[in-house]
Structure 1
Amino acid sequence: MDTIGNLPAGSSNVGVVLAASGISKTYKQGVWPFRRRNHVLEGAGLSLNRGEIVGLVGENGSGKSTLMQILVGALPADAGSVELHGSMGYCPQRPVVFERLTCDEHFELFGVAYGLTREERRAAQARLYDDLDFARYADERADRLSGGTLAKLNLALALLPDPMVLLLDEPYAGFDWDTYLRFWGMVGRRRESGQAVLVISHFIADEERFDRIIELREGRTAPK
């Protein structure tokens, strides 16, 4: 697979911030001589444009999370290419947190990893606490958070550097109705600022919130 790289300046596809094509991934299952190949992705591809919200849907086990991990560089593909223009934020389906760290300590740690200054991190942290309404848990350890609050922290850490491309894997699982509406308010503001958002879910109820919806079936992607 081609390595993830930046789209060249002056490209004819100036609106494209993420482009993936020909993505294939096969897993080997079982032990020899009964080992078999499970073809999860077979030539899947998608693109994201500036200021666009795209949904990626598919049944459980269709390969959505596998494709997401390949897009962010967390998993190698057997074939295909991924090109990125600008910074990327990733919200995995399962929160990646440190149980003994508080919410504040997570923001500080991730801010350093993103290369944010102390002032940039504090300003973004305050906005995210307000946007997702969980500032009262700032000093609470991750292992003591409810599932819904943990999901807020997981999303907030992906949003912290204000990335050009945002990839969200089942981001609102566990959200109550108020947080669900807050989530879409945040996504809408990012669309207006020219950012691109990809939301992966096995089921999308509010299709009118999306500019496009892509379906992943039998290892391939197609417009829904």
Structure 2
Amino acid sequence: MSLHVKDLRHAYGKRQVLRGVTFDVPEGVLAGVVGENGAGKTTLLRILSGELTPTGGTTTHTGTLGYCPQQAVLNDAFTVDQHLRYFQVAHKLPDLRLAEQLLDTLNFAQYRHERVSTLSGGTQQKLNLTIALMHDPGLLLLDEPYQGFDWDTYLRFWDLAQGLRRRGRSVLVISHLAHDADRLDVLHRLESGVLEPDTHTSRGH
């Protein structure tokens, strides 16, 4: 699974938000895009996820896509299990085996029958991530994925991401901080709608 972005441009009226963004995320790579608020990260992610049509340029990917937005899109009245069963039907999955593995990996299986409204923000984000991964996508797009995670869950998240990489999956993390650079294979910096050249490579972490 790979992602190819070429000369991506977007404007809201006369305001240019993305100015010719070009980059690739090859198969089996953990990549990151960092930038300050207003740099164009949200617009870029909305385009990559298919929520927004760009003004110009192209974005293509092979295989299936998983998307974990920063704000969890969950129904407060549903339990964790009801969310999983809803997306099982949506993805036409024969079973919930992978989702159940993710519950264990992220250490929140004990909340399976709890309503979302009773869960902490960090646990809701665990469910958000599980939903994005339960159909085993080839490319995972993550927007500030570990917001609200405690240290144990943060480490579990990176173990999970590295496992995806070993299986040939691609992961793109969008963040406003670069403190996880050493955990990534490649890091891009987005500034005022312009993507700077790769600033970091650390294969093997």
Corresponding position of 2:78: 101
Describe the superposition over 1:166-223 as per-residue Cα deviations: whole angstroms up to 9, x where unpaired: 1000000110000000000000100000000000100021311111000111211122
Per the alignment, in what secondary structure is the counterpart of residue 110 of structure 1?
helix
Corresponding position of 1:156: 130
Describe the superposition over 1:3-57 as per-residue Cα deviations: whole angstroms up to 9, x where unpaired: xxxxxxxxxxxxx6110111111113xxxxxxxx221111112211111000100
- Asked if 1:75 is matched to 2:52, the reply is yes
- TM-score, length-scaled by structure 2: 0.94
Counterpart residue identity of residue 194, structure 1: G
- TM-score, length-scaled by structure 1: 0.86
Corresponding position of 1:219: 193
Corresponding position of 1:11: none
Aligned positions of 1:105-144 closer than 5 A: 105-117=82-94, 119=95, 122-144=96-118
Task: Name structure 2 gaps, 5 residues minimum.
Answer: 200-205
Q: Is the 8 A contact 2:66 2:139 kept in 1?
A: yes
Describe the superposition over 1:127-176 as per-residue Cα deviations: whole angstroms up to 9, x where unpaired: 01101000111111112211110111111100111111010000001100
The CA distance in 1 between the partners of 2:69 and 2:138, in whole Å, is: 17
The CA distance in 2 between the partners of 1:109 and 1:142, in whole Å, is: 14
Q: Is the 8 A contact 1:58 1:203 kept in 2?
A: yes
Counterpart residue identity of residue 109, structure 1: Y
Per the alignment, in what secondary structure is the counterpart of residue 82 of structure 2?
helix
Moved over 6 A (4+): none
Aligned positions of 1:48-67 closer than 5 A: 48-67=25-44
The CA distance in 2 between the partners of 1:20 and 1:94, in whole Å, is: 24
Q: Is the 8 A contact 1:57 1:202 kept in 2?
A: yes
Q: CA RMSD for the aligned pairs?
A: 1.0
Corresponding position of 1:4: none
Match of 1:185 among 153, 159, 162: 159
Q: Is the 8 A contact 1:91 1:169 kept in 2?
A: yes
Q: Is the 8 A contact 2:30 2:170 kept in 1?
A: yes
Counterpart residue identity of residue 105, structure 1: Q
Counterpart residue identity of residue 184, structure 1: W
The CA distance in 1 between the partners of 2:180 and 2:7, in whole Å, is: 29
The CA distance in 2 between the partners of 1:174 and 1:51, in whole Å, is: 27
- Higher Rg: 1
Return the offset for 1:61: 1.3
The CA distance in 1 between the partners of 2:133 and 2:81, in whole Å, is: 15
The CA distance in 2 between the partners of 1:78 and 1:203, in whole Å, is: 27
Corresponding position of 1:171: 145
The CA distance in 1 between the partners of 2:188 and 2:158, in whole Å, is: 19
Q: Is the 8 A contact 1:45 1:220 kept in 2?
A: no
Counterpart residue identity of residue 186, structure 1: L
Aligned residues with identical type, % of pairs: 44
